[in-house]
Structure 1
Amino acid sequence: MKKEHDAFAARLHAALKNAGIEPRPVVLEKLLARRGVAVTAQAISGWLHGRYMPKPAAMRALAVVVGLEPYQLQYGGRTEGVRDDHDAWPTRVNGRDRLAFEEFLGLPEAQRELVRGLIAALADGMQRKRR
């Protein structure tokens, strides 16, 4: 059992690094809370150090945060024939950006339009600086 927990901790650390997320319990606690999963920093520390495995709901939320399928995070590797919804994301989009996009899509249309305008204004400002 300890081997499985250690292997999971290693996969979790690698997935967090690939997603550009700090492997700190307080950071993960906040990201999981945004997904509706309440987990203590102490439990998350146990995952990161190979002492415990997350419960299924937390495993699913963690997988979304790091941009993997739950089975990949829990067991490693890829399973042929299983559709990966995250393949549509460009590789430069990290876990925090994916979460921001998902939260954006949950906003009412008026707020989404406001965010689009802000992004357009920021992008326009960057283009002017480059000239």
Structure 2
Amino acid sequence: MVTSVASESSYRAAMEKVKAQFAERLQQAMRQAGYEPRPSVLEREFNLRSYSTQVTLHGVRRWLRGETWPTDEKLLVLAEWLKVSPEQLKYGTELQNRIAEHRETWERLNYQERETLEAFINLAPSQRKIVREVVMAFAKAGKAEG
């Protein structure tokens, strides 16, 4: 019970941080597009561009304060207007950068290394656990030597 309360609390704190970061990115995107990051400006410009859904002054004020974030449909309108990708606006570039780093790491592997990793993936879970423990022991020993 204590663990679930603690994890729920940390989840809420993490979500508050994510929403605050979204608000910062939204304000920055508005400035870069030449708009003052004010609720009245955001409401007017959004409603001029959206035919299917409208926003209220109160709603966009909550976006700018980091209290909530828009639905995906509204995020697409914002992204198109502000000329940024929806992913970048909602999550920033950190996630995209980490994905690119992982992709670059995979692309640097030679054929034998890829073949080894694919063989590892095809092992039974119990066998993968053993192989992982051996590899992690080698990695730890390598760090101690280096």
TM-score range, shorter chain: 0.5 to 0.7
Alignment-mate amino acid for residue 54 of structure 2: A
Which consecutive unaligned segments of at least 5 residues does structure 1 have?
A: 81-131
Q: What whole-Å deviation, never above 9, does each CA across 1:33-65 have from its counterpart, x for those lacking one?
A: 122230001010001001001111111111112
Residues 1:74 and 2:103 aligned together: no
Counterpart of 1:39 in 2: which secondary structure? coil
Q: What whole-Å deviation, never above 9, does each CA across 1:70-97 have from its counterpart, x for those lacking one?
A: 01100111748xxxxxxxxxxxxxxxxx
Q: Sequence identity of aligned pairs in percent?
A: 38
| More helix as a share of residues | 2
TM superposition score normalised by structure 2: 0.52
Higher relative contact order (CA 8 A, sep 6+): 1
Aligned mate of 1:42, from 54, 58, 63? 58
Q: Distance in 2 between matches of 1:22 and 1:38?
A: 20
Pairs aligned (count): 82
TM superposition score normalised by structure 1: 0.57
Question: Which residue does the alignment assign to 2:28?
Answer: 14
**Runs of 4+ residues over 6 Å off in structure 1:** none
Question: Which residue does the alignment assign to 2:81?
Answer: 65
Residues 1:53 and 2:69 aligned together: yes
Counterpart of 1:7 in 2: which secondary structure? helix
Question: Which residue does the alignment assign to 2:101?
Answer: none
